[in-house]
Each structure stands twice: as C-alpha cells, then as structure tokens.
Structure 1
C-alpha cells in the first residue's frame, strides 16, 4: 500500500457516502426520543387517568433521572415508582384526581448513556393547561459537569493509547525496548490514566444524568444509580482490567525481556477487554445495527491505540536514542501504522454513516460539524504521517523500492560510499550502502522527529474531538424530529376542541401526516370537511394543499405528504363540523 492510500481511501469512501446519501437519506435513528404519550400532549380528558405512559424510540432507564406528574400548584400527583419496560415508562397516578391541569416532566437515560428530558401537559375536566415552561428549571447539564466529562474521556483515551499501544510497539517492532525505563513508565502511567478516567466518568455520570452540580458526584443515591446501570458496570470493569494489565506488565518489565507465552496470552486478553469496554458503550450500543457498530468501534479503538501508542513510543524511545535500532524499528512500525490507519479510515466511515445518516446532517448539526473538524484534523495527521513514511522509505528502503537515480543521498553520503567500497574491511557494496543509509538517517533524524511530533500533536486534538463526540447526541437523532403535538381548534369565540397533528419523519421529501380531531370533552369527532395546507413564510412557499384520506372516526391521514425544502414550516388544519362554522389549528415545525 502506498503512503497516499489511507488518505485517498478516506476521501473515496467519504465521497461515495456523500453521493449515495443524497438519494438514500433514511429516517432518524439512534439516541432515544419520545415518540408517543398517553394521555397525548394537550389532551382534555373527561376523567383522570390511572397512569401516564411515555413511549420512547428505544430502551431507556430512569437511573438518576425521574418521571413525575405535577398538578397546577406544583404538587406531585404520581404515586409509587415509575415502571420501565424497554422503551415504555409508566407513571402511576393517585386516585380521584380533581379537575385541573397536569404537567408531566421526565428525565431518563438512553441506552447510549445520554439523558433525555422533556415535559408536556394535559387537562382533566375544565382545568387550564399548565405551561410546559414551568418544567424548564433544572433540566440543563451543569456547566462544570459538561466540561469535566469530555476531559475524563480524553484522559481514558490517551491512557489507553499509552497503556496498550506502547506494549504492542515493543512486541511487534522493538523487542529490545522492554529494557527501556522510560517506556515502562509511559505504559504504567497510561494504564493509571485509563483507571482514573473511568473513575472520574463513573463519578460524573450521576450528576450528568440528574442535571445536578458537580458537588453531587459522591451522592450515594447517584452513585448507586450509576453502579446499577450497564454503563456504570462497564466503567468499573475497565478499572479492574487496567489494574490487572498493569500487574502483568510489571512482571514482564522486571525481567526486561519480551513476555513469556502465558504472560503474552493473559496480557492480550486483558488488553482486548480494555478496548472492548471503551467500544461497547455510548453510541455503538444504541440505534441501528448495534452488533456491527460495536465490532466497527472495537476495531477503530484498537487501531487508534496501536497507531498513537506506537507514535508515543517512537518519540520517547527510538527517536531519542542514538539510532542503533532505527533501521530495525521504523520499517516495521511504518507497515504497522499503515494497516492501523487503513482500519481507522474504513471503520470511521462506517461509524459516520451510522451516526450521521445523511450528508445534510454534516452541516446542520453540532455532531456533524464536530465530525467535519475531526475529519480535517485526521487529514492533517495523514499528511504528517506521509512525510514520516517518505523519510523511512528514502533512508531505510522499505515498502516502496525507489530507482537508484531518484534516491536522495547527500554528497557526504556518496563520498562515504566510495570510501567504503574501496575499504577491504567492507565485505560488499551492499554493506557499504547499508552503512551509508544508517549514517544519512542519523544526520536527518531531526526531520523525522519533527514530523512525528506534529503527527502526535494533531493526534491529541483528534482524541479531544473524539471525547466530545462521545457525549454529543448523534446527528441522525438531531436532524429529523417527528412532530407530535396537540393544538386547540380556534373559532371566533375561542378554543373549541383540539387537533392532534403527527408528521413523521419531518424531513424533506415524503412524510406521513396523521390528524385526529377531538371535541372539548376529549372525544373523537367526525368533521363535515377537513383541509390541510403547508406554508413556509420565510421562503414564500405555499400554501401547499395536502391530500387526505379517511382512516377512521375523527382520523385522517396524508400518506406521502411531500415537503419540498428545508425550513420552518407551518401546517394549518381547517375543519368544518357543520355548515356554518369553520375552525382552524396550526403548528410550526423545523424541517432539515
């Protein structure tokens, strides 16, 4: 594989995805979203329900969150502990609730460990709707927690590269390096960073899920909620694996020789376990194709560990020595790095397609822009890696033999070659050329060291962006949000009934529209006539009439409703229940 192949492969795969995504953008997935409620948002009921049910798009847990129902005065009217069954959360209510407005507020944790919060209201009898804004307090993540979590993840990522990547470098490229005290300290420090990062993430997950301050990190209730979750257990397992691998490596370094077969087998199992505990949490375990996502992420994390850990080992070991091992180590690592980068490129594109979904999401969501920034830095890293690889090929002759006429050798090196060939102590011209290569490599070592330093420095930025991406909702979940709202039917005398409007997936192109009509008592009613129109005032589009078909009493459906462009659209429902009075209801929603 040429030195340009990883970069060209990355560009080719991204271009293919961009081209394919333009015509095959799919619906939203990944990251739990509220898809239905019972009672519905804004519903007016004749009598109080026994419970409130929230249905999410994927499995959730309460963890350190909550799900509760409040009366108009702010008092709680739910009773007992909410039940969670997959993506359904059921909140039992007290009996004999009076006529009033009620506010349902929730904060649950999705399978990818991110909290989802929201609120909606409904009315029993002649009560007034409680404003949803009354639930806004206490739902945002504390700024200190929001800053500390990515830092803890970055610490774990960097530690994994050192704690696992440096031993891999020694096993595959530099067996004599097991005697290096500096590399021993790097690997031990890396494993300590993995454990520390996992502990910090464990402590911060509770405040993150509960939207509480960083001072609540040691709250027993929050710690217990985190420990009982899959995410929390995975973090604790990661701490144990890091400690066990540190003990194995300590025994190996005491002997200052490559590990024995039993130690190698045990260390490999522990290192693989560490990689899996990093890959099998967060976004990969939620959304579509979780099996494929976990495998791809595992390969991605392993390749990152081998490549970046190897770079750190080269800087601290080989490139800081007198060069005795340079000719042996660098060609081997060059091939290892090329394979790692190729694996990173392929699995990275697989992850991007899954988490972003469509090219539009790259430039319309926070996750997309972060991914674009990471891609740009990765290209710079590949450019720096290309410089390093050219140096290795020119000075140590690996991977791509170059014609003798194109090989760059200094005048001093030519003179040395002539003297070496004339020296009877040199067995052959090949031996002389090897000495010339070693001497030229020693003279030009600063060039290689600078390029590897740039490569490693940019890699640190990539790790930081990765740590932020892990905590950012996937673009696929942000770009398309189905609409499901209850709005009042307005007449000249005021509100008279409600209409429930559902638009799925609320993206450009074909959508499915459902319209349900309710009278003031919350019962479905059949209209004499119903019309739906779409407008986009900012772009002066519309009104666009939406064809409807009856789907049951009080229920109409617009299957294949086409929204032509992105923007903030207004959907207006006009209803005639008799020959004399027209009622209207409208809602606005974003389309990306």
Structure 2
C-alpha cells in the first residue's frame, strides 16, 4: 500500500507540469484567425461591369477547400444568382452564375477552409451596369466561432501534444534503456495514458472541426457535417493518425509486458508508425500552407519528435529511473540519456529557428505580431530550460555513481515544468495566424481596384485602375448616359501625370472593346497622388473631358 501511495505521488508530480502548461493554453486562448486571405476576385470587389458575367472567381493566398452551402451570390432583388456547385482548384474558387443577370449590385458571400484547416469567410460586391443598394444575405459569411469551440480547440491540441510526450519518450526509454530487473507496470500505465490522450485528442479534433468550420455550436453537429469533415483532407489525416496509433498499441503489448516477446522487426515497425504519426500533426497545421510546405512539414515533424523524446524521457527519468534504479544502473543510463537530450535539444533549436524564419518572414514580425511575440516567449523559455539541461548534464558528468540522485531529480522537475509551459505556448501558436498571412492581407489591401465615377450633364464615366500600385496598371473606362445607359464613344484619350514629383503628362494608349468600353495599360514609376485626364468624343463635334486624382501606393 505504501509503495502504491508513493507511485501515485510521483505520478501526480509528473502531471503537475503538464497541468501548468494546460493553464497556459487556457489563458492564451484567442479567437482563431483565418490563415488564408482573399487576394483578388473577378469581377473585382466594388467594381461596375458593363455586362453580367457567367461566373465569379475568388483567388486566395493559399489552397482552400469548399464547405457545402457556404458560397452564395445574391442578385439585386435578393434571389440566388449562383447556379450549380462552385469548384475549387488550389487557391482559386469558381462560382457559376445564371445567365441574363439583372442590372444592379450583387453580393458574394463565402466561407471556405484554408490549407491549414482554419475557416476563411467574407463578402464582396460587384455591380452590373450601375450600382444599387447591395442586397442582404440570410446569413453572414464572417468567420464567427462559438466561444466554447474556440476554447476547446487549443485544449484538444495540448492534450494531443501531452499524449505524444507520454508515448514517444517513454517507449524509447523502455525499449533501449530500461533495466531488466525493474517492473514495467508504471511505465506501461504512462504509455497507455499517452495512447489514450492521443486518441481522445484526435476524436475531439474531428468533432470540433465541424462546428469550427460551420460557425455552429458544440452540440449542433449533424451526421452530414461529420461526414463532410471525414471526407476533407483534415479528416483523412486525422483518421490516419487514429489508425497508426491503434496499430502501434498492438505492437507495444510485448514491450510493456517485458516478457521478451518484442522482436527487432516489431521495434522497426514501431519506428515507422511513430514517424507516420508525427507527420500527421504538421499536415493539419501551418506547415501545409508554408511557402515551402515540404521543408516545413519535415521541420515541424522533427520539432515534435525532439520535444516528445526529450520531455517524455524526462518524465521517465523523474518518475521511475532516478527513484528506482541503483547506482550501477544509473551510471550506465544517465550518460546515454544525456547524449539523447543533447541531440533532442539540437534538433529543437534547428527546426524551431528555421520554421520561425519561414513563418515570421521578417524581423519586424517578431515584435509587431502576436505570433512573433509568442515565438519570443517560447525562445526565452527554451533558453532557460536549455540552461537547466546543461546544468543537469554537468551533474551527470561530475556525480559519481554512488551519490544520491535527489539533486538531479530536482533539476529534472524544473525542466519538466518549463517545457510543459513551452508545450502550452506551442498549442496556442497553432491557432494564431503567422505574420506572412498578415503580409498577404496587407498586400491585398493595397492592391485593390481604384474605382471612381465622374459625371457631368452629358455623360457618366466610370474609371477602374488595377492594382493601383507602382508598376504596370490596367485601366478600364465605361461611358454611360446620365440615366445609366451605355453611351457610344467614337474616340478615347487619356493621360497620367504626377505634378508633385515633376512627372509631366504621360499618354495612355487606349483600345475600344465595345462602343462604350475601352481598356489601356500604363506603367506608373512612382507612388503618389496621380492626376488622370480623360477625353471621350461621342460625335464629330461633341466631346467631354474629365480629370480625377487617384492615390498610387
């Protein structure tokens, strides 16, 4: 009974650090951010086109998947203008439209899933012929997430990370460092707990993905919603994780019993399954949407593996080996473990630094974004724990095998506590958009079409300039009568000037597309408030000249 009480106390102490990290996750939980952005659309947001298009195209910064019934085009009279199912190819979504659309303003609402499994939503408008009051949608496409679902997602991810820790490191220690005379019952319970946590986290993640992507409540999930999740890339990867962990559980039984039934082939298969399981984490997160996804997936899997080996090994060292192994056994185990820990720390530093450089992309991003600041917190905590680990290695080298390992247990406990908090920061990071996403959004915001309508008593001229940035720009000119009917133009002329910087008027070559529509291209060499002058001749003797100012960034 006394031995059982001591074991329970040890187990409670080991779990204390993990609970500290869980509290960190809860305190740092923030609204989930969409990690893909709409970079362009055709027709462009806010523009007026002369004729009704037969489709709407949305282009995102990364590949996306569709959510059934979450993309709509609403006509000016409030009816549905879309026809048939939209299609997605990479980051481009195509929405087919009914033919013969009425004049007026159309509303496009969308909600899709980005490559890293986060929902992306929003609205755009465009007008046919002339603008009108935008129609209203029955439901909003903005990315709203139920607060309970939002809080449970990082908790579920933390539970999965904790399961990895209690599974990977303990299995390696039990297979390669465990003294034959010691009982495997305690480590076996730790490993089964790890398996249970990974399976529970995976099932919870599959359940939460439905209300997360749909914006519904935790218990508003229907069978069809779960079927859609299982049919997505996210669902497929999570099912692979479940299958791999369950298969590993069967192979682990001889190792946990300790009867010598495990073979080298079983251990090799366990290694393959471990690599496959670790790969499922980056395949449902930021690395898949990275500029170099292959590199990011490998780095993230390496990062997770090093964390699981190091922290899981510390759990075994603190809870079982240091209290139970004799001096001779510790003399053989600790130097080997010290080398393992050094290798794991090296892998953590390498993978973490490279991955941070990819995700943050700029030095400013480290200090100006929540993602970057959490990276800095993680680096600071990692530096502390590396210092503690270095002191631990020093103790191992200087301490004779006959000395008590009590001091070493205290150092290991500190390592456990700090690394558990690092685990919590990692779980929070996967819910926050990296700075490269913000940069894509900022680029999109500064690369929108400039649209102005110039009027007088004889004509209404609509001017579209895209992307309104330094460099090559496209221009569309549409001529209408004062009552918004197409007005034929015989000849078009246009110039662009930047007086503030001494740039004289530059002639813009224009090409007539229809009687009332002309297009042109011009390279604008500098940013500033450009002055554009347009002349539209409608008869041999009648012409109208307009002047406008547009900001080019």
Question: Under a length normalisation based on structure 2, what TM-score does the superposition of the two structures give?
Answer: 0.80
2:477 is aligned to 518
State how far apart, in whole Å, the 2-side matches of 1:256 and 1:544 are: 88
Of 383, 386, 394, the match for 1:382: 386
Aligned length: 492
Spell out the pairing of 1:127-526 with structure 2 (5 A cutoff): 127-128=131-132, 130=134, 138-176=142-180, 179-216=183-220, 218-257=221-260, 259-321=262-324, 323-324=326-327, 325-395=329-399, 437-440=400-403, 442=404, 445-480=405-440, 481-482=442-443, 483-489=446-452, 491=454, 496-502=461-467, 512=471, 514-520=473-479
Gaps of at least 5 residues in structure 1 are 1-29, 396-436, 505-510, 534-541, 563-570
Cα deviation per residue 1:284-340 (whole Å; 9 max; x = unaligned)? 222322222222222222111111110111111112326443222221111000001
8 Å contact 2:303–2:348 — kept in the other structure?
yes
Question: In the alignment, which residue of structure 1 is the partner of 2:18?
Answer: none
> Which residue of the partner structure matches residue 109 of structure 1?
113
2:494 is matched with which residue: 528, 553, 569? 528
Kindly indicate whether the alpha-carbon contact (under 8 Å) linking 2:42 and 2:57 is maintained by their aligned counterparts in 1.
yes
Write the distance in 1 (CA, Å) between the matches of 2:181 and 2:189.
12
Q: Aligned partners of 2:350 and 2:100: how far apart in 1?
A: 59
Match for residue 40 of structure 1?
44
1:58 aligns with 2:56: no
CA distance in 2, matches of 1:462, 1:221: 37
Alignment partner of 1:121: what SS?
strand
The corresponding residue for 1:574 is 531
User: CA–CA distance in 2 between the matches of 1:64 and 1:198?
Assistant: 23
Aligned partners of 2:242 and 2:523: how far apart in 1?
A: 53
Distance 1:516 1:527 in 2: 12
Once the two structures are superposed, residues 486-522 of structure 1 have per-residue CA deviations (whole angstroms, 9 ceiling, x without a partner) of 3432558698413233267xxxxxx646252432559
Q: Superposed, which structure 2 residues align to 1:544-563 within 5 Å?
A: 553=511, 554-558=519-523, 561=526
Q: 1:54 to 1:464 in 2, by over 3 A?
A: same
543-552 or 523-532: bigger deviation: 543-552
Do the aligned residues in 1 keep the contact of 2:74 with 2:137 (CA within 8 Å)?
no
Structure 1 contact 285–293 (Cα < 8 Å) conserved: yes
Partner of 2:548, secondary structure, is strand
Alignment TM-score, normalising by the size of structure 1? 0.75
Cα deviation 1:341-387 (Å, max 9, x = unaligned): 10111111111121111112112222212212211111121122122
Please tell me whether the aligned partners of residues 365 and 479 of structure 1 are also in contact (alpha carbons under 8 angstroms): no
- Go from structure 1 to structure 2 and tell me whether the alpha carbon gap of 1:227 and 1:439 turns closer, same or farther (over 3 Å shift): same
Deviation at 1:192, TM superposition (A): 0.9
Cα distance in 2 for partners of 1:178, 1:75 equals: 73
- Asked whether the 8 Å contact 1:276–1:298 carries over to 2, the reply is yes
Write the distance in 2 (CA, Å) between the matches of 1:270 and 1:301.
15
- Alignment of 1:584 with 2:549, yes or no, is yes
Unmatched 5+ stretches in structure 2: 1-33, 481-485, 512-518, 536-543
Secondary structure class of the residue paired with 1:37 = strand
104-113 vs 259-268, which moves further: 259-268
Shift of residue 203, structure 1, vs aligned partner: 1.1
Task: Name the CA distance, whole Å, in 2 between partners of 1:178 and 1:557.
Answer: 79
